[in-house]
Amino acid sequence: MSEIRVRFAPSPTGYLHIGGLRTALYNYLFAKRNGGKFVLRIEDTDQTRFVEGAIENLIHSLEWAGIKYDEGVFIEDGHIVERGEYGPYVQSKRLPIYRKYVDELLEKGHAYYCFCSKDRLEAVREEQKIKGMVPKYDGFCRNIPLEDARKRVAAGEEHVVRLKLPYNRDIHFHDLVRGDITINTNDIDDQVLLKSDGYPTYHMAVVVDDQLMGITHIVRGEEWLPSTPKHIYLYEAFGWEKPTYVHLPTVLNKERKKLSKRHGDVSVDDFRTKGYLPEGLVNYLALVGWSPEDNEEILSMEDMVERFSFERVSKTGGIFDKDKLDWVNGHYIRSKSVEEISALSVPYLVEAGFIDDVFVNENEEWLNILIDTVREGMSTLSELPEKVDFIFKDKLQIEEEAYAEHLENENAKVLMQAIKAELEKIDMIDMEYAKGFMKLIQGATGIKGKNLFMPVRVALTGSVHGPELVNVLYLLGKDRIISRADAILNR
């Protein structure tokens, strides 16, 4: 069998949608699993939708996610470059190639020039709507002899080129996820292949490129399923062997609607700034529409490559469940090394105004302990400022109920006095000292157990729940602890 080659072919119209990232991921996993090649091609034939910077954003998003490709478009020293034997990989650089194949179709009678004006097409569509028909080109220019059409083109008449589909013919194909599919040509439009601006449409370009780039498997979103018969017909018209099709179920929200910008986050950038780790997002996304045979849910990229197959991709839409994503992401926040999480966390703390770059450089160890202390209950890095707020606050908010229960009594006053007295004896709190601190207070006051720990915890953190007290003592340090003890004594 020839080498497996797949491609991800986004249009540079803005950001990378989370559904697009999953398509790229499945392409990547399939290529890796089968020792094949993965190509990144840019489909920019619709120049009206081109967005400046979108190609760079796509490449950076894939890179962040850890999805590597072998050929296509890359960024090197800040510039877009191409690598591979099948270039150019940007469609707008391939216009002469498409023109050649459009001419071949015209020559063979599989395509025709169409001179219909926008107004005429509009009127036809209106009439069809009134009659309750599916709007479709009515074939007005189908039978203009090629010679006549060429003369009109030479005379400068505005035109497009359309696919000439035979009437009433069943087109069959097999999809690895959806099974056997048959569509009759009567239900398909005579698709425009070449637009009046000289650019091919997506349908023309995608078939020519997939063929010339040796693509063996077309793995894409199911929104392209209705277009596939047109593509199949083109392969047949050219006499090319058609590739294998794999249409992936749409990523849906819990209401079973398409994920849209209006209903929350959809771009890879959104998730990245929310503090999702690439490992967490990619791991979870793989499970939206696919599951491994052993139903394992925490999977590294290598684990996924080992297990991936299209047989286990579901036909029905994959539901994007944010709670599940949070759970998976939380796993990675806890399991990665504290140094790594700490480095990723710093920008969130700087942004929240808790620390600055100078502080970061001088307090690496302290920061590592801070992150390690609070990461247990976290799902995303953006939750961090809220989690560490109690450490940095000058004036701690104490939960009313906790205050009434644990601090409004003589016992608490005795503890606060003892804490102050002990701390006056030292310069600073290190980890060793923090570990023995509560024993010191117990020795000085004779108070122990819940009566010792709860008032201290509430006075220092504002709450009865919270992280390891030893770490909290170390993180707060001498001056903050004294000022919190004073706040209780003077209340």
Catalytic site residues? 261
> Order of strands, edge to edge, in the sheet holding 111-114?
111-114, 160-163, 192-194
Residue selected from 4, 5, 6, 9 as contacting ligand GLU according to rule CB under 6 A:
9
19 binds ligand GLU (CB under 6 A): no
Residue selected from 5, 11, 229, 381 as contacting ligand GLU according to rule CB under 6 A:
11
The least distance separating ligand GLU from the CB of residue 23, rounded to whole angstroms, comes to 7
Cβ density class 409-425: b for 16+ within 10 Å, e for less:
eebbebbbebbeebbee
CA distance 331 to 323: 13
177 binds ligand GLU (CB under 6 A): no
220 binds ligand GLU (CB under 6 A): yes
Q: Extract the runs of DSSP E, i.e. beta strands, from 35-92.
A: 37-40, 71-76, 79-83
Tell me the backbone φ, ψ of residue 303, rounded to 5 degrees.
-60, -40
The least distance separating ligand GLU from the CB of residue 206, rounded to whole angstroms, comes to 5
Q: Extract the runs of DSSP E, i.e. beta strands, from 23-115.
A: 37-40, 71-76, 79-83, 111-114
For the chain, state the CA radius of gyration. 32
71 binds ligand GLU (CB under 6 A): no
Return the sign of the alpha-carbon dihedral for residues 337, 340, 345, 346: positive
Tell me the backbone φ, ψ of residue 252, rounded to 5 degrees.
-115, 160
From 5-13, 93-101, 242-250, 254-262, span contacting ligand GLU (CB under 6 A): 5-13
Give whichever of 220 and 457 is closer to ligand GLU, judged by the CB atom: 220
From 3-11, 171-179, 361-369, 385-393, span contacting ligand GLU (CB under 6 A): 3-11
Give whichever of 246 and 458 is closer to ligand GLU, judged by the CB atom: 246
Residue selected from 74, 224, 235, 392 as contacting ligand GLU according to rule CB under 6 A:
224
CA distance 154 to 146: 12
From 6-14, 136-144, 307-315, 388-396, span contacting ligand GLU (CB under 6 A): 6-14
Give whichever of 202 and 437 is closer to ligand GLU, judged by the CB atom: 202
Sort strands 318-319 and 251-252 into parallel, antiparallel or unpaired: parallel
From 7-15, 253-261, 419-427, 475-483, span contacting ligand GLU (CB under 6 A): 7-15
Give whichever of 149 and 219 is closer to ligand GLU, judged by the CB atom: 219
43 binds ligand GLU (CB under 6 A): yes
- Tell me if 157 sits within 8 A of 128, measured CB to CB: no
Tell me the backbone φ, ψ of residue 173, rounded to 5 degrees.
-155, 165
10 binds ligand GLU (CB under 6 A): yes
Q: Which residues contribute to the site for ligand GLU (CB under 6 A)?
A: 9-11, 43, 202, 206, 220, 224
